[in-house]
Chain A
Amino acid sequence: MKILNAIIAGVAQGSMIALVSLGYTMVYGILKLINFAHSEVFMMGAFFGLFLTVGFGLDTSPMFAGVAGTLAAMVLAGLLGALVEKVAYAPLRARSGGRSNTNTRITPLVTALGMSVLLQNLAQLLFTARYRSYPQLLPIENARTIVFVVAVVVMIALQFLVYGTWFGKAMRAVSVNVEAARLMGIRTGRVISMTFVTGSMLAALGGILYCLSQSQVYPTMGVVIGTRSFVAAVIGGIGSIPGAVLGGVLIGVIGELTKLTPYSGLQDVIIFTVLIVVLLVRPSGLLGKAGIEKV
């Protein structure tokens, strides 16, 4: 019973981590870029959600304010993600002229780290480092269930988006080969932007669900969940959408099961050990495809 409870809590926690790790994995799948600024978009999304929900009139109609605030925050976070891509990553891609050399890998990676630091400090400057409580929109007894259901629905919708629409087809084409996709008449720039928008919207939703069920909102909140989500994406096989979900749930469950033992401080140790073991046995992650690496 104890273990079952922990597993349930772990799956709920994991589904939230998965929402964030989807953003890492989608961007990597297309650009082979690890977007470290993603954890900051997650944090900004939570801040947008907090301000917009309060702004939409929390007292008059909490239900409307909550839903409208969340949706508006997702849109804003999506725009922020696209802005990050346009300002920081697109110029670097344009400069390398589509040729692959070391610079096309390393420069964007360092830029991503820079963007992450910039956004985090910007949030501290704009919003101060205060911990803010998120308004209690959901009855707390059901918050976990709602978080889980929303996460699952969104993931199914994403699966449909990627495998059932023209846009998803374009996305997959770009991920296989950007140049060939461009030659086929796909507007690669737009597809890339939309990928950032989608990933960032999911991160914002993840951030808001995270705050609704357990956390307060503060500028460094992206660090812990960001690291875990990134690890989840790598364990599941970075670039693979079901892999990100599997990795997220796995990390959530491992974390909660560790808490049952007297060694709850070792959570991160165990998570990273699992990461190393998985990478040793399957270098491309649990569900990653080996050998699709293009040079």
Chain B
Amino acid sequence: MIGRRRWISALVGAFATMTALGCSSGGGSGAAASGTGTGAAPAVEMKEWKVGAYLSLSGGDAEFGIQTREGIELFVEELNAKGGVKGKPMKVLFEDDKSNPQEANNKVLQLIDRDKVIAILGEVASSRSKPGGIVANKKKVPMITPSSTNADVTKVGPFVFRVCFVDDFQGQAGAQFAVTKLGKKKAAILYASDDLYSSGLAKEFREEAKKLGAEVVIEKSFLQTETNFTTYVNEIKDSKPDVIYAPVYYRHMAPIAKQAKAAGVSADMFVGGDGWDGMAPEDRVNMEGAYQTTHYASDDPSERVQDFVKRYKAKFSREPSALAANGYDAAGVLADAIKRAKADTPEGIRDAIAETKDYPGVTGNTTIDPDRNAKKQIVIVQFKDGNHKFHSTVAPK
């Protein structure tokens, strides 16, 4: 009996060690002691620009975080190879929020209080950028979100910025594209009711489509935990729409596309938003012909984009997604602001970010407006042979 107990406790001990090791290797880099700065102000003797990034590196939206991280890493590597900013290299501390808003909150607090970062990059999903932004704003550390498009995100306060377009524009562009360009008159909407991004886009699309004279024949919403979409798809099919607007994240779109196919709804009826970015290649086979609004297309012929695609492919051996491009540009706007900042404090950098004008990034030129949003073009792409195919652009309004 004793032997068995010992055996069990040894096993439990081994698990504990494994877990501890896993944790320390993941977050160890951030634990290094940092200067003697008080509050949000960094130490006077800075050897490097310490920037925090909180992203969904695991969990349901893991691809969002991983692709954005790759974009940021590529930029920082290139920047430091050229000598950094003001003679000092930039260092980004990545934290994983596990696709969880609560965790996003904690990670931002950790980056600011423990690591004393001078600026924050982060989150892709609006429902995590908003709580993170509230913390950053309260602590007076500037935050730039690469890809959060919900209007509320930058409304939390003067320290939160974005380098992408806003959802009212995206939802309207989606509706204009479906109604005017594709000539569809009967629209269906399928969205996640408990998600800020999804329900916001659905609302903008609905209003704009009605304004343009199209009819919304059916609207269905689901919770984010849902996996079985058959009944929704069947019901949408019964109301005979000619276009289905599905502003949802890729992790929902993959099963929706699969089950739509099973129900005999063809994929080319779907129009979606930038939340579809990040879909795995094996899921894209069910998406053939669908259109989506997004930030950039990797087959955009412009030299700036093609050069970026080449460098990215050389490092990560895959096509850069729109999220990677946005991550690259968010880090770029920040580095540019640090260079221009009159004071090397979070406040000084904040003022410099607010003055950003025509920063030339891979997703177009970025100008920050007084509402701390970027005026950016929208790119419409179509799924062809499992890849995004550039269709057209919508100029910023």
A contact residues, total (Cβ < 8 Å) = 39
Q: Which of B1-44 contact A (CB under 8 A)?
A: 1, 4-5, 8, 11, 15, 18-19, 22
Residues of A contacting B282 in the complex (Cβ-Cβ under 8 angstroms): 133, 135-136
Residues of B contacting A224 in the complex (Cβ-Cβ under 8 angstroms): 225, 227
Stretch at the interface among B258-266, B304-312, B323-331, B339-347: B258-266
Stretch at the interface among A175-183, A191-199, A212-220: A212-220
Q: Of the candidates B15, B18, B254, which one forms a contact with A133 in the assembled complex, judged by CB atoms under 8 Å apart?
A: B254
The residue in chain A whose Cβ has the minimal distance to the Cβ of B257 is A140
- The answer to whether B223 touches A264, judged by C-beta atoms less than 8 angstroms apart, is yes
Given contacts A91-B4, A131-B60, A131-B251, contact A143 B262 (CB under 8 A): yes
Q: Mark B166-200, 1 if CB is under 8 A from A, else 0.
A: 00000000000000000000000000011000000
- The answer to whether A267 touches B228, judged by C-beta atoms less than 8 angstroms apart, is no
- The answer to whether A122 touches B4, judged by C-beta atoms less than 8 angstroms apart, is no
**A125 CA to B25 CA, complexed, in Å:** 12
Q: Of the candidates B5, B11, B19, B235, which one forms a contact with A260 in the assembled complex, judged by CB atoms under 8 Å apart?
A: B235
- The answer to whether B223 touches A133, judged by C-beta atoms less than 8 angstroms apart, is no
Q: Within 8 Å of chain B (Cβ to Cβ): is A6?
A: yes
Q: Within 8 Å of chain A (Cβ to Cβ): is B222?
A: yes
- The answer to whether B231 touches A256, judged by C-beta atoms less than 8 angstroms apart, is yes
Residues of B contacting A91 in the complex (Cβ-Cβ under 8 angstroms): 4-5, 8
**A224 CA to B193 CA, complexed, in Å:** 18
- The answer to whether B62 touches A129, judged by C-beta atoms less than 8 angstroms apart, is yes
Min distance, Cβ B230 to any Cβ of chain A, angstroms: 5
Q: Within 8 Å of chain A (Cβ to Cβ): is B360?
A: no
**A218 CA to B234 CA, complexed, in Å:** 27
Residues of B in contact with A, size category: 35 or more
**A6 CA to B235 CA, complexed, in Å:** 9
Min distance, Cβ A98 to any Cβ of chain B, angstroms: 15
Q: Which of A181-215 contact B (CB under 8 A)?
A: 210, 214-215
Given contacts A129-B59, A129-B62, A214-B255, contact A9 B231 (CB under 8 A): yes
**A202 CA to B66 CA, complexed, in Å:** 35
Residues of A contacting B264 in the complex (Cβ-Cβ under 8 angstroms): 141
Min distance, Cβ B228 to any Cβ of chain A, angstroms: 5
Q: Of the candidates B4, B59, B234, B262, which one forms a contact with A141 in the assembled complex, judged by CB atoms under 8 Å apart?
A: B262
- The answer to whether B62 touches A130, judged by C-beta atoms less than 8 angstroms apart, is yes
**A215 CA to B264 CA, complexed, in Å:** 19
Q: Which of B188-237 contact A (CB under 8 A)?
A: 193-194, 220-223, 225, 227-232, 234-235
Q: Within 8 Å of chain A (Cβ to Cβ): is B137?
A: no
- The answer to whether A144 touches B262, judged by C-beta atoms less than 8 angstroms apart, is yes
- The answer to whether B230 touches A9, judged by C-beta atoms less than 8 angstroms apart, is yes
The residue in chain B whose Cβ has the minimal distance to the Cβ of A95 is B1
Q: Within 8 Å of chain A (Cβ to Cβ): is B283?
A: yes
The residue in chain A whose Cβ has the minimal distance to the Cβ of B222 is A264
Q: Within 8 Å of chain B (Cβ to Cβ): is A2?
A: yes
Q: Within 8 Å of chain B (Cβ to Cβ): is A240?
A: no
- The answer to whether A13 touches B228, judged by C-beta atoms less than 8 angstroms apart, is yes
Q: Of the candidates A9, A133, A214, which one forms a contact with B227 in the assembled complex, judged by CB atoms under 8 Å apart?
A: A214
**A216 CA to B98 CA, complexed, in Å:** 17
Residues of B contacting A264 in the complex (Cβ-Cβ under 8 angstroms): 193, 220-223, 232
Min distance, Cβ A194 to any Cβ of chain B, angstroms: 21
Q: Mark A123-140, 1 if CB is under 8 A from B, else 0.
A: 011001111010110001
Q: Of the candidates A9, A124, A131, A133, which one forms a contact with B228 in the assembled complex, judged by CB atoms under 8 Å apart?
A: A9
- The answer to whether A259 touches B232, judged by C-beta atoms less than 8 angstroms apart, is yes
**A167 CA to B229 CA, complexed, in Å:** 40
**A246 CA to B58 CA, complexed, in Å:** 37
Given contacts A125-B18, A216-B251, contact A265 B194 (CB under 8 A): yes
**A54 CA to B225 CA, complexed, in Å:** 27
- The answer to whether A265 touches B5, judged by C-beta atoms less than 8 angstroms apart, is no
Q: Of the candidates A125, A130, A214, A265, which one forms a contact with B229 in the assembled complex, judged by CB atoms under 8 Å apart?
A: A214
**A122 CA to B227 CA, complexed, in Å:** 24
The residue in chain A whose Cβ has the minimal distance to the Cβ of B232 is A259
Q: Within 8 Å of chain A (Cβ to Cβ): is B280?
A: yes
Q: Which of A1-26 contact B (CB under 8 A)?
A: 1-2, 5-6, 9-10, 13
A-B contact pairs, 21 of them (CB 8 A): A5-B231, A6-B234, A87-B8, A91-B5, A125-B19, A129-B59, A129-B62, A133-B280, A141-B262, A214-B230, A216-B254, A224-B225, A255-B228, A256-B231, A259-B231, A259-B232, A260-B235, A264-B222, A265-B193, A265-B194, A267-B223
Identify the A interface with B (CB < 8 A): 1-2, 5-6, 9-10, 13, 87, 91, 94, 118, 121-122, 124-125, 128-131, 133, 135-136, 140-141, 143-144, 210, 214-216, 218, 224, 255-256, 259-260, 264-265, 267
Shortest beta-carbon contacts, A-B, top 6? A129-B58, A259-B231, A140-B262, A215-B227, A9-B230, A214-B227
* Given pairs A121-B19, A259-B222, 10 additional interface contacts (CB within 8 A): A2-B234, A125-B19, A128-B58, A129-B99, A130-B62, A144-B230, A210-B227, A214-B255, A224-B227, A265-B194
